[in-house]
Every structure is written in C-alpha cells, then in structure tokens.
Amino acid sequence: MKRIPLAALALALLASPAAQAQKKPAAAPTADQKMKQFIDGLMGKMTQDEKIGQLNLVSVGFDVTGPVVSKDVDANIRKGLVGGVFNTFTPVAIRKLQEMALKESRLHIPLMFGYDVIHGHRTIFPIPLGLAASWDMAAVEQSARIAAEESTADGLDWVFSPMVDIARDARWGRIAEGAGEDPYLGSRIARAMVRGYQGPGNDLTKDNTVMACLKHFALYGAAEAGRDYNTTDMSLQRMYNEYLPPYKAAVDAGVGSVMSSFNDVNGTPATGNKWLMTDLLRKQWGFKGFVVTDYTAINEMMEHGMGNAAQVSALALNAGIDQDMVGEIYLKNVADNIKSGAVSKAQLDAACRRILEAKYKLGLFQDPYRNVSAQRATSTLVKPEFIAAARDIARKSMVLLKNERSTLPLKKTGSIALIGPLANRQRDVIGNWSGAGDWKQAVSVEQGLRAAAPSLKITYAKGANIADDAQMLERLNAHGGDLELDKRSSEEMIREAVQVAQAADVVVAVVGESQGMTGEAASRSDIGLPGQQLALLKALKATGKPMVLVLMNGRPMTLPWENQNADAILETWFAGTQAGHAIADVLFGAYNPSGKITATFPQVVGQVPLYYNHKNTGRPFGGEKLDKYKSRYLDVSNEPLYPFGYGLSYTTFSYGKPTLSKTTLSPTETLEVKVTVQNTGNYDGEEVAQLYLRDVVGSISRPVKELKGFQKVMLKKGESKTLTFRLAPNDLKFYNNDLKFVAEPGDFKVFVGGNSRDVQEVSFKLAAK
C-alpha cells in the first residue's frame, strides 16, 4: 500500500468537495480596509515630491492674516504640489481649481477646500461668545448645521471651526470666537459644533456635511497679558483639568482635523511640540485625523528661536504636523530633511496618508465636486428658514444685564431717541470673522426698531465716533471696518444727541466696540467703552430721561458707571445677519431674554484674568473692609461686575432648596439632585438652572466651584417645575499630581442657582471603595 505524506493528505482533504463546502466565505473588507487598500495603491504611484505636495495648503483670495502670500498656485497645482486650498469659495471658483488638479496634474488627486466659517457662512449667526450665552445646545448645533449646508453649497469641504480655547482674559481679542471660561460648558459646545458640521454620524461623504477643524491646539486662550500670539505657560494639572477638556470633547466627538496654535506650550511652540501633537493628541486621545498649522506657524518658529527653516521644518513634521498652511516650508525643505536624515520617509508617508485619508472620508475620490453647482448654491444659500433661524438664535444669545423699574420691555407708542455710533451700523452687527456674509444685507438696530414699531417716533443722533483715534480707525478699516471719522467735534455731536434725547420719552443708546476691535490681532489693554462714548452716556444721563443701553461687543467689558447709571442694559454681542430684528424683538418684549454670560465681566481691567472657578488661597478675602492681610485689592473689591452664568429676564425665578438622593455616595453610584424652580414674575420665560460642585478636600487644591450641569427650562407665569440633575462618577473626578483621573473620598458641596454667585448649597460625602 502506497503511503501518502501527511502534508499531501492534508492538502487533499482541504481541496475535497466536503471541505470546500464547509469553508467560510472570506469576510468583506471593512471601510477602513477599503480606504487603506485604495491609499496604498495611490501612494505607491506617488513621487516623493507629490507626497510633500499633499502637505501644502495654499491661500487663494481673501483675509491674509500673515506676512506670506501663496505664489505660483496654478503652476503648483498642475505639478501636484498642492494638497488643499483655503480662502476661496463659490462653485465657479472651486470647480476651476478642482478641474486644474483633476485634468492637469499627473495623478489627478483632488484638492480639499477650506474656509474660516466661524459663526455662519452666508447666513451669519451671533459670534461664538454670544452663541455660548444661549446655553442652548440645540441652537448651537443648528447654527453649525446651517453653516455646513451653506458652505458645502458654496463648494467647501472643510471649516476652521470650532474654536474651543478656554479664555479668562477679556483683553484677548479672540475671546469672541470661543465659549468663554468654563471647561464643562466649552466641552458641551465643542461636541454640539462638531455634530452640527459633520452630521450625527460623522459621515463626511454626504454633500451637506463638512469636516470640522478643532482649534487652536492648545492653550491659545491662556496667552499671557491677553495679547494675541503671546506665550503660554502652565502646570500639567491646570492643563488637564481646566484647559484641555473642550479639545478632548471635540476629538471624542470625531472631529476630522485639528489646527495647531501659535503660542508655545511650556517652552516649545505648539507647532513643533511632539508631546502635544503625538503623545497627547494621537497616543493618549486616539485622534485619527490630520493636523494643520495656523497661518505660517511653522515659519514663525524661527522667530520663536527654534532654528532655521530646515530645522523648524523637521521639528514640525517630526512633532506630527501634517499640513503647512501657506508657509510652503515643507515644500522647500522636507526633501532635504529626508536626505539629511532629519526626517524619515516613514514620517512623510504618515503625514501624506492622513491628508489622503481625509479626502477619502470626504468622498472626494468618488465625487471631487461633491454636488458643487450654481443651481444648488442658488437654492441653498440664505434660505428663508435659515434667516428665521438666525433671528431666533440671535434672540437666545442676548443677555439682560440690568432692568431697573421695569424699563424694558419698551412700549411701541410715544417716542425714542436712538443714539450711538453703532445704532445704524450694518457692518458691525455681523461681527468679526463673519465669513462670506454680506453685511449690506444685515439688519441694523435702527432698521429693526423701525420695522417692529412703524408708528413709534424714532429720532436718530450719532452722538460719538466709535473711536476718535484716526490711527485706530485706519487699523480697523484695514480689516474691512468701513468706518468714517465724523468731522464734527465731540462736543457738537454730544450736544445734538442731548437735544434729541430731551425731546423723546426714552433713550436707547447703542454703544460698544466695532467688529474690528475683537477677534484675531485685536487685543485691547482698556476694555471699557472706546472713544467718547462714556462722555456721551453721561450727558444723556443728565437729561433725566430713562436710558437703555444696547451693547455690541466681542468680549466682557468694564462697565461700572454704566451699570450704576443706566436704567437697563442689554448685551447683544455681534448678533449676526438678523441682529436688528432680534434686538427689536427683545426690546419690545416679543421675546423674553434668556441668555447668561459665559465669561466674567470685571469691574476694572486690573482684575483680569477673572473667572468664577478659581482656587482659594490660604488667605481668602471674606469682604471685611479692615481685613488687610488677605488676598484682595486696596482700591476695588474682588467681586466681578457680572458673574459667570449671570443674566436677567423680564420675569423672576425662585429656587427651592436642593435635595439629594443620597448623602453618602459610593464611588460607582450616581447622585440625583432635585430642585424646584418657579416663575414668580409676570411673563412666561426661560431660565438656565446651573449646578456647581466643590471638592472640599483634595490631594491638590481644587476650585471653589465647577459647573457640572445645566438645564434650560421654559416656565409659564406662575408655573414651577422640579428639575433633576445627575452627577455621575466621572463628574467627581479630576487629574491629580500623577495625572491620574480620580475621585477622592471625602466631602463635596453642591450648589444650584441661576448663576455662579447666587446659589443654594447642600453637601454629601463620597465614601472610600
């Protein structure tokens, strides 16, 4: 009998019909496997220069925010040396450049198109600081969703938003672009914005979703002295507990890209910081997208003192920076970096792959034009329902700061003296970074009031310039300010305004900053009303007429005289396309204001940085005037003018005593906090009930309060509701000295109220394991 080798026998058995019948079909490749296979094939055809080209992001068009301008763009696109384009939009412009890449470059790799869509694209919503003041996550998400609809219809794939930097210094101009000072609220807003831009399932292939870009990573809002582009230095504990959470929340929500910040982080510029971009962002947090610089940030590392062009190029790529915005430093140096051994080919491949993966996820390899057409743009941009949403969201963002003797709402009969340099300004109401919005289509305060009350006598007087410094106006106009200096003297302008006020029943003074006084490169050392606006208000006060202030500004301001002397103050920020109508709705009572500030307003600029969730000192000041040796000022109290979470309504709300489901909690249990809120006034209205927590004793010093929950609730006149908050185990945790996320047993305090100051307190104990 012939012996058959075991190996041959096994092969024969596997090949038999019975074995074939039992063999499972090969599993279909996953989406990630398909993407990898596609990109492997593409990269196998690419030259080194073409790979470097994908790392090059060029600017074509508007808003140059640095000293470098992209050159030879068309030629570089044809050579395959451009990965993406920003600062251009419209179907015609996008199609022209995309066709150039698809038809004239060797490998026909599509371009990616980005733009600064910060608070709307064509339909402009309130600035982000105003959006945050709504405390309405559905409204925040809706604003981003509409921005995604419009920007994709205009040919864009990518938006440089959300900005989630925690900001506690009102001098910093870019505080306008974020959610304010609190990490919990900032995290909630970061998630809502990413969801709005990228859609609930992060399906970027849909033609009405855009890839979001988290910015600015990291700690940009902590720039020293509130001065833009300045250095940042802080402990790891503060970083992890107070500044990093909103970035982490956006990454967890699936944000597709991240932008590096201009500042250094503990000595190393963010753009060259490997710990930040690789160890933290990719390894600890698991971020899978790509990282782009801010405008020429790699080049600027030379000014930071990090080396010459070749050295900073290598530093950035090795740190994990994938795409260079405008600087073209990768284009000029990476090949030599590889040749010298300063950068590996593997590092270049990793960066190139991440850019190509983003394009794949956007569906650009399947449809490079993503339904970009003039017809779609016409049917989508500035739709009536978008305009209606802009008006509603603008109303929700406004904060009533004062309302003595029920001055507001105003009556639609009699006469109003409408005074102030911002009262008829269409350009300013849409604010800074207002994208592709057409300010000529925006509604000014004057237009809004006249439309809301056509039978009301409204007489206008300018009263003052926004700023009297010609050099300041020149600077503002360089950013599209459209401002003119009134040739009349301040005395003459104030005299006219007083005459108009004396003939009216009530004064509505629209004052504040121009849109160019906040945003990038717009830090201010004095955050009071600029120019002669305060002198104007003092003259109007002397008339004895009721005086309502309508504020437009992109930051907390110092308003001690205004708070003391105005009868009512309405904070409207820069409220967007429908600002005038929304302001009129609030002033006349068609909408009851419900906004709450998310950045503390100081009494004087010398108090900043000022924020509610500070730590105690060994000598906390209790308010005793003669208690000298405490942490205090000699010339002003420690208290803010308006605390975090503050905002009034035309009605009033009362809070019952909070109750707890348990007074002793195990580390795995959830605590329920119940509180009854009643509308005790004469109007239906919304209230933002806020829950704060204090860890009384910790292994490191803990803040005096931390926001851990909020609910926005509508209550009819006389109605009450019992709200339930839940504190999960993670809400009690913090990063300790070892950067471990822990909850330590001991005493906790819970505070519930309508702002961070006016709260009621209960206590519980966290038991040991």
Catalytic residue set: 294
Torsion of CA 178, 183, 187, 189, to 10 degrees: -40
Phi/psi at 173 (5° precision): -65, -30
- Within 121-202, strands assigned E span 158-159
DSSP annotation string for 49-107? HHHHHHTEEEE-SS---SS----SHHHHHHTT---EEES--SHHHHHHHHHHHHHHSSS
- Within 582-670, strands assigned E span 653-655, 659-660, 664-665
Are the beta carbons of 663 and 765 closer than 8 angstroms?
yes
Q: In what order do the strands lie in the sheet with 568-571?
A: 399-403, 568-571, 547-552, 506-512, 415-419, 457-461
**Contacting residues for 303 by C-beta, under 8 A, at least 6 apart:** none
**Contacting residues for 116 by C-beta, under 8 A, at least 6 apart:** 63, 86, 87, 159, 160, 161, 433, 435
Which amino acid would we find at residue 685? G
Please, which residues bridge with residue 760 across strands?
752
- Residue 13, Cβ neighbours under 10 Å: how many? 10
Half-sphere exposure of 30 (CA within 13 A, CB side): 3
What are the distances in angstroms from CA 582 to CA 418, 448, 546, 599, 666?
16, 8, 22, 22, 48
The 3-state DSSP class for residue 500 equals helix
**Contacting residues for 74 by C-beta, under 8 A, at least 6 apart:** 100
Burial 525-535 (b: 16+ CB within 10 A, else e): eebebbbbbbb
Angle subtended by helix axes 345-361 and 309-319, to nearest 10: 60
CA nearest 743: which of 710, 709, 767? Answer: 767
Dihedral sign of CA atoms 330, 335, 337, 341 in order: positive
Segment (H or E) for 537: helix 533-541
* Spatial separation of the C-alpha atoms in residues 518 and 693, rounded to whole Å: 32
* Spatial separation of the C-alpha atoms in residues 72 and 62, rounded to whole Å: 16
